[in-house]
Structure formats: structure tokens, C-alpha cells
Chains A and B, each alone.
Chain A
Amino acid sequence: MLLDVRNLRVDFRTRDGVAHAVNGVSYHVDAGETLAVLGESGSGKSVTAQAVMGILDTPPGRISGGQILFRGQDLLKLKGEERRRIRGAGMAMIFQDALSALNPVMTVGDQLGEMFVVHRGMSRKDARAKAVELMDRVRIPAAAQRVRDHPHQFSGGMRQRIMIAMALALEPALVIADEPTTALDVTVQAQVMDLLAELQREYRMGLILITHDLGVVADVADRIVVMYAGRIVESAPVHDIYRAPAHPYTRGLLDSVPRLDLKGRQLSAIRGLPPNLVRIPPGCSFHPRCPLAQDVCRTDEPPLYEVSDGRGSACHFWRECLHGADR
């Protein structure tokens, strides 16, 4: 097992009180596997990833519990310098907004080359050659010339390729992609996702794909975890979850996507709003919006019930949900 997150908890101190962003999240990724983390804003999907990468802002954030095992080693017990060595070489991250993630006053060649200078002790000249090679690898046309350009001189899709090149520079075992194509147009999104999938196969990386887009997930993921209010509500192989979701929230998400056969009819929206993380509802945090909610949901927090092998649902009524009893 490449990465094993166990019962992770993250809090943020805010003006209104303590916001519980991540409340006992466990997931794991193997080499060569793509795990999709699906959730809406505020679900804790990005915060979990930031904790894994060790780039969480502390304060206001605080990891209040859990373990992050990377190749069996608990990252939370490492010192700053040891942690830094893993970041970049062992695991790397691709961010949503390449324009703000890249340094605007450095050429892309210098930014890519910096990885090799810092981690591998290469000379600047060798690092530059490596940068050109990487840009070629992510299919940036005329890489040898464009290596001297600054980020703003590239289009959105090209910038995202540079981010990918940077993440893959040291051939990390694990790559976390946080909404890598959300800022891109669909035709460019298709190019970038294709490239990412190809490189993943080639390097046999573990990939954590964080997204809110059910379509992107269906295209590339092996397994999915669905997050809501800082918890995992469903975890399953990709085919199972689309065929028959075992949690009412997952079902709600799938149903709120417009479908061909439902044109002209009401979309079945999930009622209400995601909860405020300072005041997460007791019991199952989804109960105020859930069509299946009963008294027990308001008092008892559901554990992640085993639905079948490798599949879990944090719903007291997962059987009813699975069999579509609410329809």
C-alpha cells in the first residue's frame, strides 16, 4: 500500500468557532491506482490532500488526530526537513489554478529546473536540459524555445501541462491532483486528462484525483470515495457506485446531473444546503437533507458499513438506498 490515511482529523480555528473540516477520514491508494475523491466545496476533500502533502496552513489549521502512512512511514511524525525531502520526490501535487500556483516572475524553465537543482543537486545547465525534456514529455510545442517564457505567456491548457511536468519531474510515487481541469474548457480538459492518464500508466504512479465532476471521475477513476462535511460517506469501485449508489447523498449527486431521458422534467435536486462546519448536525451530518432520514439518523452517527467486498456506506439505511426504496 502506497498511501494509507487513517482516521485523519483537521480543525480550523475561525472567528465563529472551531470548524471541523476533516472528521475521521480514512482512505488508501496503491501504486498505479487512481482514487477519485468526490465532494462539493467544504466537504474537506482538498484539506485532506493538503494534510497529506504537508502544506496545510497551521495555524489556523490543526491536525487533531490520525495517521498518514506513506510507504508505511507516518508522515505526521517526521521533522520538517525529512518531510520536505518526501515532498516533490515521493509525492507531488497538481493544483487547480496554474496561474497562481506558478511563480509569475520566473521562467518556466527555471521553475522546472529548480526541482533538479534542489533535490538532485544538478547544475543549472543540466537542469535546464531536463526542463526542456519534461516540457517535451507533456507535449508543449517548441519546448526548447518556450522554456525561456514566463507563465503568463502560456494558455490555460499549456500552463496546466507545465504544472503536470513539474509534479512529475522527480517521478514521484504518488501524485495528488486537486481539480486539475476545473479551470479549463472541455476540449482542453480532454487533452489534459488524457495526458495525465497516459503518464500515470507509464510511471505507475498512485493518483488521487480530487474533483466535483462526476463525469471526469467516471472517465478515469478505479475507486471513488465520496466526502460530505468532512467525512467519507461512501467508498466503492467506480462501476458499482454509478450503477447503484449506496448512500443517499451519492444518489442525490448522480440524480442532479441533467440526463437525456429527463429533459424538460424537474431535476431531482438535493434540498437544502451543505452544513456549516462549525455546527455540523449531530448523528448523520446529511440527515437534514436526506429523503431517507429517520429518528436514528438524528442521534447516531453511522459507521462506514460494509456493503460488499471493498465497498462501504455511512448510511444506516444503505440497503434501502441500494435497492432504490426511496424512488
Chain B
Amino acid sequence: MAPTGEPILEADGLVKHYPLTRGVLFKKQIGAVKAVDGVDFTLGRGETLGIVGESGCGKSTVAKLLCSLERPTAGSIRFKGEDITRLSGRALKAVRRNIQMVFQDPYTSLNPRMTVGDIVGEPYEIHPEAAPKGDRRRRVRELLDVVGLDPEYVNRYPHQFSGGQRQRIGIARGLALRPEVIVADEPVSALDVSVQAQVINLLVRLQSEFDLSYVFIAHDLSIVRHISDRVGVMYLGRIVEIGGDAEIYDHPTHPYTQALLSAVPVPDPAARERRERIILTGDVPSPTNIPSGCRFRTRCWKAQRRCAEEVPVLAVPAAFRDTSGPAAHASACHFAEEILPAGRSAPGAVPPEGARGNGNGPG
């Protein structure tokens, strides 16, 4: 499924490697943490692209790259057709105004010594052209109202708010410059279940009110499905499968997606016996030592010799290319055409050596 609407943000061959060095004076590079290792996607205007993956898969690094908080090692990010990775100075600042971020942890992403009014109004200090000085106080109060906080709270400090309220403050700050794209990195995972729903509802409402496009990064698959038009699944620095939400959730063709979906606990005890779960063996390999060929092969029950030799490309499988069914979406697996996982009831993948790693790379 192609993105709806004109593309607003396009990532092409995005790579971020963090060098590992040895020595103090003469730093010698001995390797690299391949946090993001070739990511492509397109975000359409007014669309929500969900990115799911487990810790260490590089999803947060993608978020930082999109917001120009990190510079990619290779690849490009185009905002409305213009490559923003090569910008600097004034041009970069102008682009940053349009792509804002909402962070995961509402406890550490707000300065405890600043009042709520100052936090939400700070973007206007950095981009004074966005609002005339006399108008800022009023705008901040408006923003608080928009995210469902009492505008009278402007002079309070972050510690006087609950987690859910703090996340609303973070969202108000993200909205201050009227951006076109918001990158939300795990925006609700630090919140209680009953409060999560409030914040999700707020994000959905703001999207239509302000004509926003979202990149929504999370590990909670049910929340991602609820909010996203399209979903990309990341594993070890790459998108392994991407498509419309129903395509991914109802017809996953990549074994990792299949395992991930089957592992999600469903709040329905009646389904306990019916469910067939794929329990993956082993851990995610270290991003410093990515397996050859398909990077999922060390944990995959379908893996064959070809998987170790040939890197699968992220493309619509040939057999489905001319169909319009839900399987016709991009998947980076040599065996994506076998829709039903071959060994679903007997997943006996044995992790070869090198599969052991701590899986706690940059998340």
C-alpha cells in the first residue's frame, strides 16, 4: 500500500553508524554500532506512519535523524522534496521548525527548573519569527487549552503534574511552532493504561485539527495499530516489512513480524488455548556484529543456506506483485511468498554461534 497524499517526508537509504574506538590519544576505529543500517520509507501528508520494533532495533535513532538531532552516516531525508541532511545554519533551523519531536519520558524531557509557561514558550525564544513577543503568553495559554490543561497552570512547575499531564505539556511544546510533522518516540509507554488512552485520543484529535503528519514510534503493537495508517516493522537497524496496518497485522509475510504479533498477549482469556504462539529462540544479535545475509536468520525457523548468503531486499514478493490482496506489501524475506509460517506449531530454530548478544544497543 502506497502512502496516501503527497509525500512530506522521505527517508532514503538512511544509515547511522556509531564508531567504536580503542585508545585514548590515537583513537583507532575498531568497529561500529550499526544502529540504523539502511532505512527507506515515505510519509504522506496527514498520514500516520507507525514504526514498531524491540529495544535496540534503531527506531529511536531513526527519530533523532528525522528531527536533525543526529546526522546520518549515509542516505538522505527529504522534507517536501528537499534533502535536509545537508543543510546547516539558517536553513537547517527553518526545517527544524517544521519537524518537532515528542519524547518518551515526560519526567526527564521537561526542565524541572522552568515553569510550564516557559517550557511551552521556549520554542518561540529559539524561533522568534514564529510569534511576536507580546503575543507569546497568549499563545502558550492557548496551547495548554488545546492539549486539555488548565491555562491557569502556566506558572506551575513540572513536578506538580502527573505523568499524563506532563506528556500533554511535552505535546504542547511540540505544537508551539505549528510544525507539519511530529515525530513521537514512545509517547505513551511511560504512562498508566487508563491515561494512555487519553493521550492517544489527544494525538488523534490534534492530527485532524492541525493537519499534522505523524511518525509514531512504539513497541506496543496494539497502540500502533490503533493510531497508524501504515506500519513499518524494524529489526536490527532495518525495516523488514512495511505496509498498511491491516496488511501488516492480518497478513504479515515476514517471519519476524509473524513472531512479534504472535507474542503479544491478548486481553482475552478465552483465546488462550486457541492461540498458536511462535516463541523465538535466543536474543537479538549485537548491532556491532550483524549476521550476514538476512539479519533475522539467526532466530528464524525458516532460515536456509540462501538466507546467510543473500541479503533480502525490501520489496513486494513477486507472486503478489500483480495482486491487490493484503499480501501485496513490501517484505524483506526470501520466503515471503509462503504466507502461513511453515513451522508455526514447531518453531525449532537453533541459534547458531554469534547469535548471543545482549540486545541492549541504542534503542
A interface residues, Cβ below 8 angstroms from B: 40-41, 141, 153-158, 185-191, 193-194, 212-219, 221, 238-239, 242-243, 252-254, 256-260, 262-263, 266-271, 273-274
Contacts and interface: CB of A to CB of B under 8 A. Distances in A.
A243 B266 CA distance: 13
A258 B226 contact: yes
Nearest to A221: B269
A212 B192 contact: yes
B21 interface: no
B287 to A, nearest CB: 13
B309 interface: no
Interface of chain A, main secondary structure: helix
B358 A154 contact: yes
Nearest to A289: B194
A252 B267 contact: no
Interface centre among B222, B268, B284 (most CB of A within 10 A): B268
B296 to A, nearest CB: 11
The list of the 10 closest CB pairs from A to B, nearest first, reads A215-B265, A258-B226, A269-B197, A256-B197, A185-B54, A190-B263, A267-B197, A214-B267, A40-B192, A270-B194
B149 interface: no
B25 to A, nearest CB: 28
Interface residues of B, number: 46
B267 A188 contact: no
B193 A256 contact: yes
A213 B245 CA distance: 23
B268 to A, nearest CB: 6
A239 B270 contact: yes
B58 interface: no
A188 B57 CA distance: 14
B266 A155 contact: no
Given A186-B260, A218-B266, A218-B272, A155 B222 contact: no
A147 B219 CA distance: 32
B197 A270 contact: yes
Interface centre among A155, A189, A238, A274 (most CB of B within 10 A): A155
B192 to A, nearest CB: 4
A154 B192 CA distance: 29
Given A155-B283, A155-B360, A156-B359, A257 B193 contact: yes
Nearest to A274: B192
Given A219-B265, A258-B226, A266-B204, A188 B193 contact: no
Contacts of A190: 262-263, 265, 277, 279-280
28 contacts: A40-B192, A155-B283, A155-B284, A155-B360, A156-B358, A187-B54, A187-B280, A188-B54, A189-B263, A190-B265, A190-B279, A190-B280, A194-B279, A214-B193, A215-B267, A218-B268, A218-B271, A219-B269, A243-B270, A253-B194, A257-B193, A263-B225, A266-B201, A267-B200, A269-B195, A269-B198, A270-B197, A273-B165
Contacts of A185: 54-55, 219, 359
B115 interface: no
Interface of B: 54-55, 162, 164-165, 192-198, 200-201, 204, 219, 221-223, 225-226, 245, 259-260, 262-272, 277, 279-281, 283-284, 356-360
Contact of B270 (A40, A215, A242): A242
A267 B226 contact: yes
Nearest to A239: B269
B272 to A, nearest CB: 6
A216 B268 CA distance: 10
Contacts of A242: 267-270
Contacts of B164: 273
Nearest to A43: B192
Contact of A219 (B165, B222, B272, B359): B272
Nearest to A142: B356
A41 B192 contact: yes
B201 to A, nearest CB: 5
B219 A252 contact: no
A235 B290 CA distance: 48
A23 B81 CA distance: 60
A215 B164 CA distance: 22
B265 A155 contact: no
B129 to A, nearest CB: 36
Contacts of B267: 214-215, 217-218, 242, 254, 257
A187 B193 contact: no
A316 to B, nearest CB: 21
A242 B270 CA distance: 9
Contacts of A263: 225-226, 245
A215 B283 contact: no
B358 A273 contact: no
Contacts of B356: 141
A9 to B, nearest CB: 24
Nearest to B263: A190
A212 B263 CA distance: 17
A215 B195 CA distance: 17
B44 to A, nearest CB: 17
Contacts of B272: 218-219
Contacts of B262: 190
B222 A257 contact: yes
B195 A273 contact: yes
Nearest to B164: A273
A158 B282 CA distance: 9
A273 B279 contact: no
A270 B196 CA distance: 10
Given A141-B356, A155-B359, A186-B54, A218 B265 contact: yes
Contacts of A212: 192-193
Contacts of A40: 192-194
Nearest to B264: A186
B254 to A, nearest CB: 13
